[in-house]
Structure formats: structure tokens, C-alpha cells
Amino acid sequence: MLFIFDLDDTIYDYMDPFKKTVSQLLGIEDPAACWNLYQSYRRFSDQVFPMSQAKTISLEQAGYLRSELMVKHHGIDLDARGIREFHETYRQNQQKIQIQPVVKEILTKLKDSNHKIAIITNGPGSHQARKIAQLNLEEYVDPGNIFISGYYGFDKPDHRIFDIAINRLRPKNEAVYYIGDNYHADVIGAKNAGLLSIWLKIRDFQVDDTTIKPDYTVESYEQLETLIEALIGG
Ligand SMILES: [Mg+2]
């Protein structure tokens, strides 16, 4: 079997560096308040991402802009210097990310039972590559099995990024699972590419239209581990 994973919010907790930054610089500890900020930050990230993809703005500017839009949207009292500090602290905290403990167990089991592991992630090439290195993912995943959308010009849910991966990975009459947290990018993307979809539904994102159904839905990392163990029969 071939198991392809999303990176952000699937293999590691994308929110953890954000949580730390919000606590350090804004003194916000309340989980609901942090989650609220995080949701707008993600929304603004999605708006800014095409600009950095099209190279209208630099990666550095994109990082600053995401923080600025969030700060202004929530009326947070930070000047340009404060916003820059927020962006820089966030970037430093991102360099301390770690694989989710349960995901580490899953990857170890898959590796030990000789199942193939791959990653398809959306994002700028160098940025995602840095996170992959930080997470030491090459301990589990062959570098040739890692596909970063920024290097190919197609972002999930575009089936072409999945097609590139499948052409490279050449699964032989075996089940191919795609595991990701984001309904739009991961579930729709995987299904449009003809893969089996496992939706890691751990975030409370609003999904308006769920016409396309994942093959499996799990609501915690523990459920994901149980499912994968059942799929590989151990
Ligand atoms: Mg994700």
C-alpha cells in the first residue's frame, strides 16, 4: 500500500508555533481567542499565497502581509515594527516544529511493515522544504517521494500535483491513500485524482459543500492510527 500524507496540520501541528507567538508577543493564552486569530491568519495566508506564487511579492513580504492583515482585522495594537517582530518570532518558532507523536508512531509502523510513504504539500518550495528538514521526515520518507506544489506550479486540489506524484511513485495494483486535514485541498484533490481519501477532521473549518465524500473520516490522531493499523492489517 502507498500512503501519501499532507504536511501542514497533518504531520505536525501548524498551530503550535502560532500559539507560542501569540502568547509571547500578545500575551494571549485563551485557546478560543488564539484559535480565532489563527483562523484569520490561515484565511489571509490563503489570500496572500497566490501573490507569492506569482512572485508579485517576495516570500518575506508575504510573511509580513499575512501578519499585518490579521493584526488590522482584529484591531490589535501593533505598529509596523511590532508586526515585523510578530512575523519574525513566528518564523523562529516554526523552526522548532516537531512531528505529532502519534504520526511518528504511524510512520514508524508503515516503514517497518514496508509500506510506501510519500508527501504532497502545498506551499512555496523552499519554505516547505525547510519544514520537512526540521521535522527530520527523511528518516521515514525517501526525498524523491516528497512533492511540494511550489516546485511544480500546481496546488492541491488540482489533480495534476497528484498525477505527478503517482507517475513518479508508480503504485502497482495497490491501494493508494491520501491523508490530509483540509477538505477542499486534500479530500477533493485526492478524490479528483482517483485516490482513496482519509480526512483527518481535527480542525473546525467551515465546509459549505461536501458533495465529494472522503472514503474515511477520522476525528483524532488516535483514530487515524487505529484506521491505518486496520488497513495494513496489524
Ligand atoms: Mg494541511
- Convert 135-156 to b/e letters by CB count within 10 Å (16 or more is b): bebeebbeeebbbbbbbeebbb
* Element at 125 (helix H, strand E): helix 125-134
Output the CA 79–ligand 1 centroid distance in Å. 31
Output the CA 71–ligand 1 centroid distance in Å. 23
Q: Which residues surround ligand 1, an ion (CB under 5 A)?
A: 6, 8-9, 181-182
Output the CA 134–ligand 1 centroid distance in Å. 17
Output the CA 42–ligand 1 centroid distance in Å. 11
Question: What is the predicted pLDDT for the residue at 223?
Answer: 98
User: pLDDT truncated to tens, each residue of the chain (234 aa)?
Assistant: 999 999 999 999 988 999 999 999 999 999 999 999 999 998 999 899 899 888 899 988 999 999 999 999 999 999 999 999 999 999 999 889 999 999 999 999 999 999 999 999 999 899 899 999 999 999 999 999 999 999 999 999 999 999 999 999 999 999 999 999 999 999 999 999 999 999 999 976 678 778 999 999 999 999 999 999 999 995
Output the CA 146–ligand 1 centroid distance in Å. 15
Question: What is the predicted pLDDT for the residue at 234?
Answer: 57
Pairing of β 146-148 and β 216-218: unpaired
Output the CA 122–ligand 1 centroid distance in Å. 8
Output the CA 186–ligand 1 centroid distance in Å. 8
Residue whose C-alpha is closest to residue 21's, from 98, 97, 88: 88
Question: What is the predicted pLDDT for the residue at 55?
Answer: 87
